[in-house]
Amino acid sequence: MDDYLKEALEIVKAQASVRTMTEEEIVSMVRKLTRGIQEIAAGGVVQAEEEEASCDPSKCVREKTISCCVCDKSFKIITKKHLASHGLTPNEYREKFGYKKGMPLVCKSLQRERRKKMKEMQLWKKRGQNK
């Protein structure tokens, strides 16, 4: 096994020990790290733009996580603060990666919970009563 792959596997193993990762996330992270370590060893710089293009937005939103298409980290919610660290606003992020304009940047389970809670609250009825 090549040294770059061994190093990448060690890093991913450490990451997986502190958070839950899907098989897809593990494979993706190993590939990216191996490529990055090889480029650094060769004296090159990791091409961030090239990696951004490899992100498939339709696969980033999963049941328990949503992955950032810029850095490939997984979250329950991609916050404004996180996007600001990449120099993006939520709207710019959605436009750049092809999401619908008003789509919430949250995982599927959290979207369902929020929708259910809003239906239970029935704010649209309360708003009509106050007039």
pLDDT 10s per residue in the chain (131 long)? 478 788 888 888 888 888 887 887 888 888 888 888 888 877 765 454 444 445 777 788 889 999 888 888 889 999 999 999 989 999 999 888 888 888 899 999 999 999 999 899 888 787 767 65
Strands (E), 1-131: 66-67, 74-75
Going by C-alpha positions, the residue among 53, 67, 70, 57 that lies closest to residue 100 is 57
In 3-state terms, what secondary structure has residue 108? helix
Structural domain boundaries of the chain? 1-46, 58-131
Query: What is 58-131's CATH number?
Result: 1.10.10.1550
CB atoms within 10 A of CB 62: 15
pTM score: 0.54
* Most distant CA pair in the chain, distance: 71
